[in-house]
Amino acid sequence: MNAPSVATREAYDDLVERLQHHAYRYYVLDDPEISDAEYDRLYRELLSAEEEHPDWVRDDSPSRRVGAPPREGFETIEHTIPMQSLANAIQRDEIEEWLERARSYVGDPELDPELVLEPKMDGAAVELVYRDGVFTVGSTRGDGRVGEVITENLETIRNVPLRLRDEVEVPKLLEVRGEVIVATENFGRLNRALTEEGAEPYANPRNFAAGSLRLLDSRITAKRPLEIRVYGIGSIEGPSFATHRDVLAYLTQLGFRVSDRIEVVRGIDAVQRYYDELARDRDDGDYEVDGVVVKVNDLALRERLGSRSKSPRWAIAYKFPARQETTKLLDIGLQIGRTGAVTPVAFLAPVSVGGVEISRATLHNADEVERLGIRIGDTVVVERAGDVIPKVVKAITAGRDGSEREWSMPEACPVCSSELRREQDGVVFYCPNSTCRSRIQESLRHFVSKGALDIDGLGTKLIEQLVEQELVKDFADLFRLDVETLSSLERMGEKSATNLAAALKASMRPSLDRLLFGLGIRHVGERVARILAERFEGLDDLAKATQEELEAIHEIGPIVAASVVEYFANDANRELIRELEACGVEPQPVEGRKSAGVFSGKTVVFTGTLESLTRKEAQRIVQSQGGKASSSVSGKTDLVVVGAEAGSKAEKAEKLGVRIVSEEEFRRMAESESIE
* CB proximity list for 508: less than 8 A, separation 6 or greater: 479, 583, 584, 585, 586
Closer to ligand IVH by CB, 118 or 148: give it.
118
C-alpha triplet 317, 321, 327: angle, nearest 5°: 160
Residue 285 touches ligand IVH, criterion: CB under 6 A = no
Q: Does 561 bind ligand IVH (CB under 6 A)?
A: no
Q: Quick check: 347 and 330 in contact, CB under 8 A?
A: yes
118 binds ligand IVH (CB under 6 A): yes
Q: Is 653 in the site for ligand IVH (CB under 6 A)?
A: no
| Interface positions, 84-103, toward ligand IVH (CB under 6 A) | 84-86
**Residue 463: closest CA among 454, 455, 472:** 472
Burial label, 174 (beta-carbon count in 10 A; 0-12, 13-18, 19+):
buried
Whole-number Å distance between alpha carbons of 125 and 28: 18
Distance between CA atoms of 669 and 671, rounded to whole angstroms? Answer: 5
Q: How far is the CB of 267 from ligand IVH (least distance, A)?
A: 20
Strands (DSSP E) along 188-262, which ranges?
226-237
Q: Which of 179, 288, 442, 663 binds ligand IVH (CB under 6 A)?
A: 179
Nearest-angstrom CA–CA distance, 150 and 31? 29
Is there binding between residue 181 and ligand IVH (CB under 6 A)?
Answer: no
Residue with Cβ nearer ligand IVH (177 or 523): 177
Binding of residue 291 to ligand IVH (CB under 6 A): no
Residue 122 makes CB contacts below 8 A (sequence gap 6+) with 181, 204, 205, 206, 287, 288, 289, 290
Under the criterion CB under 6 A, does residue 312 sit at the interface with ligand IVH? Answer: yes
Closer residue to ligand IVH (CB): 116 or 550: 116
The dihedral formed by the CA atoms of 429, 433, 434 and 435, expressed in degrees to the nearest 10: -130
132-161 footprint of ligand IVH as x/- string (CB under 6 A): ---------x--------------------
CB of 387 to ligand IVH, least distance (A): 19
Active site residues: 120
Answer yes or no: are the C-beta atoms of 160 and 128 closer than 8 Å.
yes
Q: Is 121 in the site for ligand IVH (CB under 6 A)?
A: yes
- Of 295 and 514, the one with the shorter C-beta distance to ligand IVH is 295
Residues 19, 95, 125, 528: which binds ligand IVH (CB under 6 A)?
125
Check binding of 235 to ligand IVH (CB under 6 A).
no
Q: Interface with ligand IVH includes 232 (CB under 6 A)?
A: yes
Rounded to the nearest 10°, the torsion over CA 220, 631, 73, 212 is 10
Q: Which of 231, 180, 229 is nearest to 207 (CA)?
A: 180
**Contact pick of 202, 231, 320, 407 for ligand IVH (by CB under 6 A):** 231
**Contact residue for ligand IVH among 49, 117, 128, 293 (CB under 6 A):** 293
**Which C-beta is closer to ligand IVH: that of 141 or that of 364?**
141
**Contact (CB, 8 A) for 540 and 516:** no
539-558 residues in contact with ligand IVH (CB under 6 A) are none
**Residue 224 C-beta: closest distance to ligand IVH, Å:** 18
Query: Closest residue to ligand IVH, Cβ-based?
Result: 125
To ligand IVH, the closest distance from the beta carbon of 179 in angstroms equals: 5
Q: How many CB atoms lie within 10 A of CB 572?
A: 9
175 touches ligand IVH by CB under 6 A: no
In order, the DSSP letters of 500-556 are HHHHHHHTTS-BHHHHHHHHT-TT--HHHHHHHHHH-SSHHHHHH--HHHHHTBTT-
CB closer to ligand IVH out of 260 and 401: 260
| Given 120, 206, 257, 667, the residue binding ligand IVH (CB under 6 A) | 120
The site for ligand IVH (CB under 6 A) is made up of 84-86, 118, 120-121, 125, 141, 179, 231-232, 293, 312, 315, 317
